[in-house]
Amino acid sequence: MSLIVQDLTKRYGDKVVVDHLSFRMDQPGVYALLGSNGAGKTTSIRMMLGILARDGGTVLWNDRPLNTDTCNVGYLAEERGLYPKYDLMDQLVYFASLRGVDRAEARKRIKYWAERLEVGEYLYPQMPKPAPEQALLGGRKRRPVMARQKIQKPKKADQLGFTTTGSPGAGASSDGHERLIGSALESGRPPSAHAFHDEPLSGLDPVNADLFKSILREEIARGKYLIMSSHQMSVVEEFCTDLTILHRSRAVLQGHLNDIKKSYGRVNLHLKVEQDVRPYIEAAGARIVTEKEFDYQIKVSGEEQANRLLAALIADRIPVVTFDLREPSLHEIFVETVGGDSDE
């Protein structure tokens, strides 16, 4: 199985917003589309899904045009797409119906994900029961009062940002976590093949970012082909196998992440000593990036320069606590590739 994107192009008048984008996935995993704002990431994803018309190019799944009507494809959009005045459950069922999931199956999946995400009380809210009438002296009855609710510790649902505002008994979400449930409604519908995630961790706190990552790992283990667009380089680095960096509508760097890193060489040096060694670093021609209490992050041209610095320290009997030479991070590669400027 393979997903092939060939010469994907989009224009608005004279402006080219995606310029002949091509890449392929020959095995399950995560492919990352990276770029600064306005580089063409979201436009590319929407063209792949047929949401936007293409001005050129093809998208093939198993050598046939990708058809989202016949191939199970999930899309987790960056924008929030809920209607705040309507019941959350009804909206999720409606969104599922748009993808051919019947009402009973949709409710089954919603129940599973509500339990998994610990937000069931917001999808299935219960009105507090009134306290029974109580007789007073003299035969008169006191008006019923609402039972006092116990104050409970915050739950994961509270961290997810769910509230119970809106129509009576409705649950609503404030910061996009309903997107997790909505996208999950399509997962598991055979033959489940792809998922497109556009800034999937946007708005998530660390607790729920970890929750999303655990779901992502499960999807990878199930053999999913995942396309992810994100500005969070550490997350991309954790999950992606291959990537494309877009800049001003064009692909400027592509390939397997490990191969890209190796091409840069080991240029980051972590040096920790017990005294000031700045003169040695300068003499070696290296550059100090950060420094704190004789703990240095240094940029070197390669292993030869790093070894020259180490030899000088050893020759003068300077104790070295840490000497760790490593490849650049994806964040560093990204900044160097796009030059730190925006496409907008």
Predicted confidence (pLDDT) per residue in 67-102, tens digit = 887 777 888 887 766 777 888 888 888 888 887 889
Nearest-CA neighbor of 195 among 77, 309, 278?
77
Q: Which CATH number fits domain 266-326: 3.10.180.10, 3.40.50.720, 3.40.50.12140, 3.30.70.1150?
A: 3.30.70.1150
In the chain, list all ranges with CATH 3.40.50.300: 3-71+191-262
Distances (CA, A) of 293 to 195, 274, 296, 309: 46, 8, 8, 19
Burial 218-242 (b: 16+ CB within 10 A, else e): ebbeeebbbbbbbebbebbbebbbb
Strand 56-61: give its sheet, edge to edge: 15-25, 3-12, 56-61, 64-65
Enumerate residues 6+ apart whose C-beta is below 8 A from 22: 5, 6, 7, 8, 57, 251
Q: For residue range 156-171, what is the model confidence (pLDDT) as tens digits?
A: 443 333 433 333 334 4
Is the peptide bond prior to 191 cis by the omega test (within 30 degrees of 0)? yes
d(CA 32, CA 25): 11
Q: Which CATH number fits domain 3-71+191-262: 3.20.20.140, 3.40.50.300, 3.40.50.150, 3.40.50.970?
A: 3.40.50.300
Are the CB atoms for 194 and 3 separated by under 8 Å? Answer: yes
Strand runs labelled E in the chain: 3-12, 15-25, 29-35, 56-61, 64-65, 72-76, 134-135, 141-142, 162-163, 172-173, 192-198, 225-229, 242-247, 250-256, 268-273, 287-292, 295-299, 320-326
pLDDT of residue 286: 94
Q: For residue range 3-49, what is the model confidence (pLDDT) as tens digits?
A: 999 999 999 999 999 999 999 999 999 999 999 999 999 999 999 99
pLDDT of residue 139: 53
* DSSP three-state, residue 195: strand
Distances (CA, A) of 154 to 86, 160, 171, 288: 25, 11, 17, 44
DSSP 300-319: -SSHHHHHHHHHHHHHTT--
Tokens found for residue 240 = 């992606």
pLDDT of residue 270: 96
Q: Can you list the residues of the chain whose pLDDT is less than 50?
A: 127-130, 136-137, 144-176, 183, 186-192, 344
d(CA 157, CA 169): 16
The pTM assigned to this predicted structure is 0.74
d(CA 48, CA 102): 25
Are the CB atoms for 290 and 303 separated by under 8 Å? Answer: no
pLDDT of residue 207: 84
Nearest-CA neighbor of 218 among 237, 199, 192?
192
Torsion of CA 233, 235, 239, 244, to 10 degrees: -30
Tokens found for residue 310 = 């180490």
pLDDT of residue 133: 54
pLDDT of residue 77: 83
Nearest-CA neighbor of 72 among 44, 110, 91, 100?
100
In the chain, list all ranges with CATH 3.30.70.1150: 266-326
Q: Tokens 């799944």: give the residue.
A: 61
